[in-house]
Amino acid sequence: MKLRYEISIEDCVAFGHHLVRNSQTMRRAMRSGQMLWAACPIGGVLFVILYNKAPFYKALVLIALIGIIVSVPFYFLYPLYFRWQHERYIRKINKEGKNRGVLGEHELSIEEDGIIEKTDVNENKLLWESVEHIASTENHTFIYISPIMAHVIPRLSVISGNYDDFVTELKKRYPAE
Protein backbone atom coordinates (compact mmCIF):
# COMPACT_ATOMS: atom_id res chain seq x y z
CA MET A 1 0.00 0.00 0.00
CA LYS A 2 1.38 3.42 -1.01
CA LEU A 3 0.64 7.03 -0.16
CA ARG A 4 2.11 10.11 -1.89
CA TYR A 5 1.87 13.49 -0.20
CA GLU A 6 3.49 16.91 0.07
CA ILE A 7 5.17 18.14 3.28
CA SER A 8 5.18 21.89 3.93
CA ILE A 9 6.57 24.04 6.71
CA GLU A 10 3.03 24.13 8.14
CA ASP A 11 3.19 20.36 8.62
CA CYS A 12 6.48 20.75 10.50
CA VAL A 13 4.82 23.36 12.71
CA ALA A 14 1.87 21.00 13.31
CA PHE A 15 4.34 18.34 14.45
CA GLY A 16 5.96 20.88 16.77
CA HIS A 17 2.58 21.72 18.31
CA HIS A 18 1.83 18.02 18.73
CA LEU A 19 5.18 17.56 20.43
CA VAL A 20 4.55 20.46 22.84
CA ARG A 21 1.12 19.10 23.76
CA ASN A 22 2.21 15.48 24.21
CA SER A 23 5.78 15.55 25.50
CA GLN A 24 6.10 15.41 29.27
CA THR A 25 9.38 17.33 29.08
CA MET A 26 7.86 20.11 26.95
CA ARG A 27 4.81 20.40 29.24
CA ARG A 28 7.13 20.58 32.25
CA ALA A 29 9.17 23.33 30.57
CA MET A 30 5.98 25.25 29.86
CA ARG A 31 4.77 24.93 33.45
CA SER A 32 8.15 26.06 34.77
CA GLY A 33 8.00 29.09 32.51
CA GLN A 34 4.46 29.84 33.66
CA MET A 35 5.48 29.78 37.30
CA LEU A 36 8.62 31.84 36.72
CA TRP A 37 6.85 34.53 34.67
CA ALA A 38 4.04 34.72 37.21
CA ALA A 39 6.43 34.91 40.17
CA CYS A 40 8.76 37.58 38.75
CA PRO A 41 6.44 40.61 39.17
CA ILE A 42 5.55 39.58 42.72
CA GLY A 43 9.22 38.96 43.51
CA GLY A 44 10.15 42.36 42.11
CA VAL A 45 7.52 44.13 44.20
CA LEU A 46 8.55 42.16 47.27
CA PHE A 47 12.18 43.20 46.74
CA VAL A 48 11.24 46.89 46.42
CA ILE A 49 9.02 46.71 49.51
CA LEU A 50 11.69 45.01 51.61
CA TYR A 51 14.39 47.37 50.32
CA ASN A 52 12.29 50.43 51.23
CA LYS A 53 11.14 48.89 54.52
CA ALA A 54 7.45 49.53 53.79
CA PRO A 55 4.82 48.66 56.41
CA PHE A 56 3.47 45.11 56.31
CA TYR A 57 -0.13 45.99 55.37
CA LYS A 58 1.03 48.11 52.41
CA ALA A 59 3.23 45.25 51.28
CA LEU A 60 0.31 42.81 51.32
CA VAL A 61 -1.94 45.18 49.39
CA LEU A 62 0.75 45.83 46.75
CA ILE A 63 1.58 42.14 46.35
CA ALA A 64 -2.13 41.28 46.02
CA LEU A 65 -2.67 44.00 43.42
CA ILE A 66 0.40 43.06 41.40
CA GLY A 67 -0.57 39.40 41.65
CA ILE A 68 -4.05 40.08 40.29
CA ILE A 69 -3.13 42.70 37.69
CA VAL A 70 0.15 41.27 36.35
CA SER A 71 0.97 37.78 37.58
CA VAL A 72 -2.35 36.06 36.94
CA PRO A 73 -2.51 37.19 33.28
CA PHE A 74 1.17 36.21 32.84
CA TYR A 75 0.37 32.75 34.18
CA PHE A 76 -2.57 32.17 31.83
CA LEU A 77 -1.06 33.82 28.74
CA TYR A 78 2.33 32.12 28.97
CA PRO A 79 1.23 28.88 27.21
CA LEU A 80 0.19 30.96 24.18
CA TYR A 81 3.55 32.72 24.22
CA PHE A 82 5.38 29.39 24.61
CA ARG A 83 3.61 27.85 21.60
CA TRP A 84 4.17 31.02 19.52
CA GLN A 85 7.87 31.06 20.42
CA HIS A 86 8.22 27.35 19.65
CA GLU A 87 6.54 27.83 16.26
CA ARG A 88 8.82 30.78 15.52
CA TYR A 89 11.92 28.68 16.26
CA ILE A 90 10.67 25.85 14.01
CA ARG A 91 10.18 28.30 11.14
CA LYS A 92 13.60 29.91 11.70
CA ILE A 93 15.45 26.58 11.96
CA ASN A 94 13.81 25.35 8.75
CA LYS A 95 15.07 28.46 6.93
CA GLU A 96 18.67 27.61 7.90
CA GLY A 97 18.99 24.56 5.66
CA LYS A 98 17.94 23.34 2.24
CA ASN A 99 15.56 20.77 3.75
CA ARG A 100 15.73 18.58 0.68
CA GLY A 101 14.17 15.28 1.60
CA VAL A 102 12.24 16.89 4.45
CA LEU A 103 9.98 19.39 2.70
CA GLY A 104 8.36 18.51 -0.61
CA GLU A 105 6.89 15.35 -2.07
CA HIS A 106 7.14 12.04 -0.16
CA GLU A 107 5.99 8.53 -0.87
CA LEU A 108 5.47 5.96 1.89
CA SER A 109 4.99 2.27 1.19
CA ILE A 110 3.88 -0.23 3.80
CA GLU A 111 5.88 -3.47 3.50
CA GLU A 112 5.79 -6.67 5.53
CA ASP A 113 8.86 -5.74 7.61
CA GLY A 114 8.44 -1.96 7.73
CA ILE A 115 7.92 1.27 5.82
CA ILE A 116 9.81 2.57 2.80
CA GLU A 117 10.03 6.34 2.40
CA LYS A 118 11.02 7.89 -0.93
CA THR A 119 11.69 11.50 -1.85
CA ASP A 120 13.46 13.02 -4.83
CA VAL A 121 16.78 12.87 -2.93
CA ASN A 122 16.62 9.75 -0.77
CA GLU A 123 15.09 6.37 -0.06
CA ASN A 124 14.91 4.95 3.47
CA LYS A 125 13.58 1.79 5.01
CA LEU A 126 12.15 1.96 8.50
CA LEU A 127 11.74 -1.41 10.21
CA TRP A 128 8.70 -1.83 12.44
CA GLU A 129 11.01 -2.40 15.42
CA SER A 130 12.41 1.14 15.05
CA VAL A 131 9.00 2.82 15.30
CA GLU A 132 8.51 4.35 18.77
CA HIS A 133 4.78 4.92 18.34
CA ILE A 134 2.16 6.23 15.93
CA ALA A 135 -0.09 9.17 16.81
CA SER A 136 -2.85 10.82 14.82
CA THR A 137 -4.64 14.15 14.99
CA GLU A 138 -7.50 15.37 12.84
CA ASN A 139 -5.15 16.46 10.03
CA HIS A 140 -1.89 14.53 10.56
CA THR A 141 -0.43 11.18 11.47
CA PHE A 142 3.01 11.04 13.08
CA ILE A 143 5.20 7.95 12.88
CA TYR A 144 7.62 8.57 15.74
CA ILE A 145 11.15 7.23 15.29
CA SER A 146 12.44 8.97 18.42
CA PRO A 147 10.84 11.15 21.10
CA ILE A 148 11.50 14.27 18.97
CA MET A 149 11.50 12.94 15.40
CA ALA A 150 8.65 11.60 13.30
CA HIS A 151 7.53 11.04 9.75
CA VAL A 152 4.65 13.46 9.27
CA ILE A 153 1.75 12.42 7.07
CA PRO A 154 -0.59 15.34 6.32
CA ARG A 155 -4.19 14.40 5.51
CA LEU A 156 -4.83 17.55 3.45
CA SER A 157 -1.76 17.22 1.19
CA VAL A 158 -2.27 13.70 -0.15
CA ILE A 159 -1.43 13.51 -3.85
CA SER A 160 -2.33 9.87 -4.42
CA GLY A 161 -3.58 7.04 -2.25
CA ASN A 162 -6.20 6.99 0.48
CA TYR A 163 -5.07 8.63 3.74
CA ASP A 164 -7.59 6.87 6.00
CA ASP A 165 -6.95 3.41 4.52
CA PHE A 166 -3.19 3.96 4.73
CA VAL A 167 -3.30 5.03 8.39
CA THR A 168 -5.60 2.10 9.26
CA GLU A 169 -3.20 -0.34 7.61
CA LEU A 170 -0.22 1.37 9.25
CA LYS A 171 -1.72 0.99 12.71
CA LYS A 172 -2.75 -2.60 11.98
CA ARG A 173 0.78 -3.57 10.93
CA TYR A 174 2.59 -1.70 13.70
CA PRO A 175 3.14 -4.01 16.67
CA ALA A 176 1.10 -2.75 19.60
CA GLU A 177 2.99 -1.27 22.52
Q: Which residues contact 103 (CB under 8 A, 6 or more apart)?
A: 7, 8, 9, 12, 94
Please answer whether residues 177 and 24 qualify as being in contact, where contact means their C-beta atoms are separated by less than 8 angstroms: no
Helices 9-22, 24-52: axis angle to 10 degrees equals 70
Q: Which structural domains are found in the chain, ordered by start?
A: 2-8+102-173 (2.30.29), 12-96 (no CATH)
DSSP string, 8-35: -HHHHHHHHHHHHHH-HHHHHHHHHHHH
The C-alpha atoms of residue 166 and residue 109 are separated, in whole angstroms, by: 9
What residue type is assigned to position 157 of the chain?
Answer: S
User: pLDDT at position 135, please?
Assistant: 92
Q: Is the pTM of this model over 0.85?
A: no
Q: Would you give per-residue pLDDT tens digits along the chain (177 residues)?
A: 999 999 999 999 999 889 888 888 888 888 888 888 888 777 777 776 666 776 766 666 777 777 778 778 888 888 888 888 888 988 888 788 777 778 889 999 999 989 999 999 999 999 988 999 999 999 999 999 998 899 999 999 999 999 999 999 998 888 655
Helices 72-96, 9-22: axis angle to 10 degrees equals 140
138: helix, strand or coil: coil
54: helix, strand or coil: coil
Half-sphere exposure of residue 149, counting CA atoms within 13 Å on the CB side? 6
